[in-house]
Amino acid sequence: MEQTPKETKKKETAAKRRAPAKKKAAPAEAPAPAETAAAVPAEPGPVSEPRCSVVFIGSECYPFIKTGGLGDVMYALPRALIKQNCDVRVILPRYKCIPQKYQEKMVRRGEFWMDLCEDGRSFYVGIMECVMDGVVYDFIDNEEFFGWGRPYTNLVDDIPKFCYFSKASLAALNYMDQVPDVIHCHDWQAGLVPVFLRTLFANTPVGSAKSMITIHNLRFQGIYNIPTLKYWTALPGWCFDYTVLKQGYEDANMFKGGLACADMITTVSGTYAGEIQTPYYGENLDAHLRHHAGKLHGIVNGIDVEQWDSRSDALLAACYDAENVLEKKRENKRALQARLGLREDDGKMVIGLISRLTDQKGLDLINADMGAFLDGNTQIVVLGTGDARYEEAFRLYEEANPGVVRACIMYDEALAHLIYAGADALLVPSQFEPCGLTQLIAMRYGTVPIVRETGGLKDTVQPFNTYTDEGNGFTFDRYDAGLLLDAVIRAKTLFFTERERWDEMVRRNMEKDVSWENSAAQYRELYLRLK
């Protein structure tokens, strides 16, 4: 692998040498010099120099295991980075629930025993590896921790599980003799990685790597009592100080420790980076984050535009691009209505909601407004699982409004694709939203987002301006059911009374750049700063 940068350089030097020769061979009536230069670039293409190596450590990654946006980012960002001259390795737990077809692709890279606990208890670490599209995936294998059905269960099990995972990931890098420039950790499940790196691994090969930690959602932090965390980590006493892991009187907070020890912190949008430094959004870590604000950066997420491509999406009833979106979206709408048993009618406005059904996602606002949404011309499709009270509420709305409301209380990737394509608008009225991906996917599929102006929603959805015809969706600011209703009514008014202007927005959204290219370049820039 170390040969690659040299090889790239060699190729580029050769390309540089060849370029002038081509110029010389151009006929006398060749265009003016400026145009010639454009046609035959003297400099090589935009290959990002220098090369850098990164290891991602996180708890989920599409297509192996995904419960939310973290899984999407762990999949898409590495793929975008390798296009920008980075070596990327992703370390994940080998959950039993990873589909068999991926389990079969894995080969055993090695195995060893690792001391973990305060009393010297040691655990088996297997490393299973597979390579997909240039990204190397290493799965930490241990039946005792990962042999369960789901990636997250409850804190009693999850705390030891992710203490083990964080330490095993670093031990695996040493074992494989893979020391990257930067170790990029994601969310609380990998929060102890920077802490281990600064302490128990400081004098080992991997100790020379720099660390970055990304906050995908600050609500979940991995908090447990100090004796338990002391036992499962065997970290030195000073780590349980207020400046690192300690929180309150007797707890330790894994995310807090990671934020303290990492060389850099990022979060998934600029607005959220500011918000989490305030008490309202800071989840009790706002002061800690203000203290570390000098190393905190916000970079907005993108989506994988190959995975989410309406021109080739096999899960749609009809594929489409910005040219034929209006006609084909109608076909998808009819297919969606037929599949879900909604009244098949092009004229209805279909509003979708694809979400974890939790407080974060603004479901109490939707609940409060549901009756008002249903005006005889609107259909509502909900896809999600989560808190029983929301699941139950949507089921009741479905029962009371047959053919008009459909509550799909499940996780269904294929149905999500059809909803993105078949719905006219998508609701994302979150109480807080670090970035949010559903609004990005919606725009890419020509669906108009209706969002609250918070976090990444604010950074990615420009409100529709009725005077200039600019913008991508409908927005509201305060967390208030009346304001959500107002935004939905504004959307409906445009949809039902000025369809050409709505259709223009649909086309505009499809052409909006929601890819990872720009954001991956910003991550790369930060890696190089750390290197």
Contacts with ligand ADP, residue ranges (CB under 6 A): 68-70, 72, 354-356, 383-385, 411-413, 416, 436-438
**52: helix, coil or strand?**
strand
Closer residue to ligand ADP, CB minimum distance, 48 or 67: 67
User: Could you tell me the smallest distance in angstroms from the CB atom of residue 14 to ligand ADP?
Assistant: 42
Cα separation values, 527 from 212, 303, 306, 522, 524, Å? 8, 20, 25, 9, 5
Closer residue to ligand ADP, CB minimum distance, 421 or 437: 437
Closer residue to ligand ADP, CB minimum distance, 384 or 422: 384
Q: In angstroms, rounded to a whole number, what is the distance separating the alpha carbons of residues 415 and 118?
A: 47
Nearest to 422, CA basis, from 307, 504, 500, 310: 310
User: Could you tell me the smallest distance in angstroms from the CB atom of residue 444 to ligand ADP?
Assistant: 11
Measured between its terminal Cα atoms, the distance across the chain in Å is: 18
User: Could you tell me the smallest distance in angstroms from the CB atom of residue 472 to ligand ADP?
Assistant: 16
**What residues contact 266, with CB distance under 8 A and at least 6 apart?**
212, 213, 214, 215, 273, 296, 297, 298, 299, 523, 526
User: Could you tell me the smallest distance in angstroms from the CB atom of residue 273 to ligand ADP?
Assistant: 16
User: Could you tell me the smallest distance in angstroms from the CB atom of residue 438 to ligand ADP?
Assistant: 4
**Cβ(232)–Cβ(117) under 8 Å?**
yes
The two counts, helices (H) then strands (E), for the chain are: 20, 18
How many beta carbons lie within 10 A of that of residue 465, not counting itself? Answer: 9
User: Could you tell me the smallest distance in angstroms from the CB atom of residue 395 to ligand ADP?
Assistant: 14
**Cβ-closest residue to ligand ADP?**
69
Closer residue to ligand ADP, CB minimum distance, 124 or 220: 220
CA 341, 346, 351, 354 dihedral sign is positive
Lookup: tokens for 354: 């694809």
User: Could you tell me the smallest distance in angstroms from the CB atom of residue 216 to ligand ADP?
Assistant: 7
Q: In angstroms, rounded to a whole number, what is the distance separating the alpha carbons of residues 48 and 527?
A: 13
**H/E element holding 449?**
strand 448-452
User: Could you tell me the smallest distance in angstroms from the CB atom of residue 414 to ligand ADP?
Assistant: 8
Q: In angstroms, rounded to a whole number, what is the distance separating the alpha carbons of residues 451 and 141?
A: 40
Q: In angstroms, rounded to a whole number, what is the distance separating the alpha carbons of residues 172 and 416?
A: 36
Closer residue to ligand ADP, CB minimum distance, 68 or 403: 68
User: Could you tell me the smallest distance in angstroms from the CB atom of residue 382 to ligand ADP?
Assistant: 9
Closer residue to ligand ADP, CB minimum distance, 201 or 308: 308
Closer residue to ligand ADP, CB minimum distance, 323 or 413: 413
Write the Ramachandran bin of 343: left for phi over 0, alpha for psi from -120 to 50, otherwise beta: beta
Q: In angstroms, rounded to a whole number, what is the distance separating the alpha carbons of residues 516 and 424?
A: 25
User: Could you tell me the smallest distance in angstroms from the CB atom of residue 275 to ligand ADP?
Assistant: 15
**What residues contact 457, with CB distance under 8 A and at least 6 apart?**
428, 430, 433, 436, 439, 449, 451, 475
Closer residue to ligand ADP, CB minimum distance, 199 or 460: 460
Closer residue to ligand ADP, CB minimum distance, 360 or 522: 360
Contacts 24+ apart (CB under 8 A), 240-248: 244/195, 245/195, 247/223, 247/284
Closer residue to ligand ADP, CB minimum distance, 14 or 414: 414
Strand pairing class (210-215; 264-267): parallel
Q: In angstroms, rounded to a whole number, what is the distance separating the alpha carbons of residues 57 and 423?
A: 35
Strand pairing class (107-115; 86-93): unpaired
User: Could you tell me the smallest distance in angstroms from the CB atom of residue 44 to ligand ADP?
Assistant: 36
Residues in the chain: 531
User: Could you tell me the smallest distance in angstroms from the CB atom of residue 428 to ligand ADP?
Assistant: 7
Closer residue to ligand ADP, CB minimum distance, 321 or 359: 359
Closer residue to ligand ADP, CB minimum distance, 126 or 384: 384
